[in-house]
Amino acid sequence: MSKPLIGLTTTRIAKASKTPKFGANEQYAKAISNAGGIPVLIPLNLSNDDVDDLTVHLDGILFTGGNDIDPRQYGNPSHRKVEGVDGDRDRIEIHLVRKIIPTGKPFLGICRGFQVINVALGGTLFEHLADQFPGNVRHDNHALPRNFLAHHVQIDPDSRISRIISTKQANVNSLHHQGVRNLAPELIPTGYAPDELIEAFELPGYAFGLAVQWHPEELQEDVLMRKLFEDFVNSCG
């Protein structure tokens, strides 16, 4: 039996070299490979038609983390803290979300991927949590190791993610300054930070359609986080 092909969304990489580059953090690819899948990078120079042609050959999509989505994609003005907007990435990922759901193919969103799925389905974001959602949890911990456990997430016991990781509370890292303001109507929240910011959601009635705000690919020493990738890849097989 052949291994499932998992598409990974990519980001433009800022380097001192003048040669343009795009790619994805190695940890995403490792987590997919270790779970039994074959990661396939989705480049940012594709037309929507090319994306459609590629999607036919993929068994699932991992929407990876990265820089901010243009607030105009969800009807909001820009914000002084919005950074790294890439029109090609926004276009490709929003198109991918809307394209893949009617096919029933599994998808997993992480951090920016969590946010872009929400936006593609009609939800909105806080552009900068420190200004717009002040609370007792620090969500932007980029100055700390990426596997630093910043807070816990309370998991809905009736959710798919709870069944996967077999717990109602998970300790997670936190590497984001934006978050879900209004959840898209099609989605249901399945995990909350202590300040009640949504940290996980899923698409009900779908074979595997869920997303998390934290970075499980950076927590692969935790068997629970490995199970998340294993269940995703198994659903793609």
Active-site option among 139, 176, 215, 236: 215
DSSP-derived secondary structure letter, 175: B
- Dist CA 142 CA 78 (whole Å): 22
Catalytic residue among 127, 199, 202, 217: 217
Angle at 47 between CA 42 and CA 48, to 5 degrees: 85
Catalytic-labelled residue, pool 93, 95, 111, 139 = 111
- Catalytic residue check, 215: yes
| CB contact at 8 A, 32 and 237 | no
Active site residue 217: yes
- Name the nearest CA neighbour of 201 among 88, 119, 105, 84: 119
Q: Which residues of 92-121 are buried (b: 16+ CB within 10 A; e: fewer)?
A: bbbbbbebbbeeebbbbbbbbbbbbbbbbb
CA distances from 209 to 21, 100, 204 (A): 29, 10, 8
Contact 216, 171 (CB under 8 A): no
Residue 7: phi and psi, rounded to 5, are -75, 130
The catalytic residues are 111, 215, 217
